[in-house]
Structure 1
Amino acid sequence: MEEPKRVKPYAKPQGERRGLLLVYTGDGKGKSTAAFGLALRAHGRGLRVRIFQFLKHQGARFGEHRALEALGIPIEGLGDGFTWKSRDLEASKALALEGWKRAKEALLSGAWDLVVLDEATYPLRYGWISLEEFLDTLRSRPRHVHVVVTGRGAPEPLLALADTVTEMRKVKHAFDLGVPAQVGVEH
């Protein structure tokens, strides 16, 4: 057992308020879920939110798509699904590059307060999107724009640039016990 804290464990930060870069990475579940939770929090506070998913296909209708669309939060699939299901990796690369153009435009426009780049580490790791261009775009965005980047194996230069990095670590997973994905809970 632990006693509840009775004294605030930190001093209030005095730094400037500005757009933050958050990275959710690691081999555990919850990276996208955390990003969507942050998107809901931001939307609830009146921030303009846009979400891009680099692996999900354009017509994807997963639970997050249905819920976010119902709330008026734009979410756009930019890919063609998991790479191991792809029939043509060159076509997958072309989709990632075209999607990156749209995401980059949104980041630099200043029209959005929070831009989520879900699954963006994958096209970076595959060399489909230039890491240097990606980082330059993040550095060049308007000062008020918050960005969340998710995906396994986030490159070190991205981690170095980020304001906040959370690494999701699997402790235990039902899939390893032979339990299939559950609709509405995980996929």
Structure 2
Amino acid sequence: MSDQDEGNGKSDTPMQPSTGNRASNTDRADSALAPAPQRNARTALREQRGILMVLTGDGKGKSTSAFGAVARALGWGHRVGVIQFVTGEWQTGEQKFFADHPQVDWHISGARFDWSHENKEQSSQAALEAFAQGAAMMVSGDYDLIVLDEINWALHQGDLDPGAVLHAIAARDAACTVILTGRNAPDSVRQAADLITDMNDSRHPHEEGRAAVRGIEY
């Protein structure tokens, strides 16, 4: 999701992280092929507990921050999965840059639903299919970082059940860090998070009617 869109995201019990397997066969194969410094860094990472990060608020920078974390993870040879829940008909710079990277699995909601939410049935089905893919990625043990971009908005709109989402996150591979982006993060999601950042704009060019700039905001 681009920053252009960020200004426009039943259980209340926080879920506990999984203590499942920390490494899969894919992890070990990837580590064996990685350069020594990256291999050592990734091996150390797999011994650490992943965290749940929530990037929310009405301001610019939620997806930007998440994709900065993607770049940082790739720098250390980590495997990354990205699921985008709210998309338009445009292509974003982050998609162009990361989609073909061999260490990134990038998936966009098949129905390409957007902020208008005019077709509730189609939007909900797209969100369910996207999250099913994300849930499978989280338990696979193949990923060090997974970004669920704009999932908070899908939760806010009622396309996904917060309890089901938190259950899947709690069942993830123990070493996998998950980042949820989008405004209006539900209270139950905030309670389960290890880290929460609320983005707020003090000033924004959109207030003066300026259009989003390609390469800066999308």
TM band (smaller chain) = 0.7 to 0.9
User: Do 1:83 and 1:89's aligned partners in 2 also have CA atoms closer than 8 Å?
Assistant: no
TM-score scaled by length of structure 2: 0.74
User: 1:61 maps to which residue?
Assistant: 91
Identity %: 35
Distance in 2, Cα, partners of 1:101 & 1:87 = 23
Distance change (3 Å), C-alpha of 1:81 and 1:91: closer
Distance in 2, Cα, partners of 1:49 & 1:60 = 23
Distance in 2, Cα, partners of 1:82 & 1:69 = 20
2:127 counterpart (96, 114, 125) = 96
Q: Residues 134-177 of structure 1, C-alpha deviation per residue, up to 9 Å, x if partnerless?
A: 01111111110100000001111111111111010111000101
Distance in 1, Cα, partners of 2:65 & 2:50 = 18
SS at 2:86 equivalent: strand
Q: Residues 96-141 of structure 1, C-alpha deviation per residue, up to 9 Å, x if partnerless?
A: 1111111111111111110000000111112211110101111111
Structure 2 residue runs without a partner (length 5+): 1-46
**Post-superposition shift, 1:17?**
3.0
User: 2:75 maps to which residue?
Assistant: 44
> 2:156 aligned with 1:125, yes or no?
yes
Structure 1 residue runs without a partner (length 5+): 1-15
Give the number of equivalent residue pairs. Answer: 170
Task: Map 1:2-17 onto structure 2 (within 5 A).
Answer: 17=48
TM-score scaled by length of structure 1: 0.85
- Runs of 4+ aligned residues of structure 1 deviating over 3 Å after TM superposition are none
Distance in 1, Cα, partners of 2:214 & 2:157 = 29
Task: Map 1:100-119 onto structure 2 (within 5 A).
Answer: 100-119=131-150
User: 2:112 maps to which residue?
Assistant: 80
Distance change (3 Å), C-alpha of 1:60 and 1:177: closer
Distance in 2, Cα, partners of 1:127 & 1:92 = 10
Q: Residues 40-68 of structure 1, C-alpha deviation per residue, up to 9 Å, x if partnerless?
A: 101111110011110026x8521111111
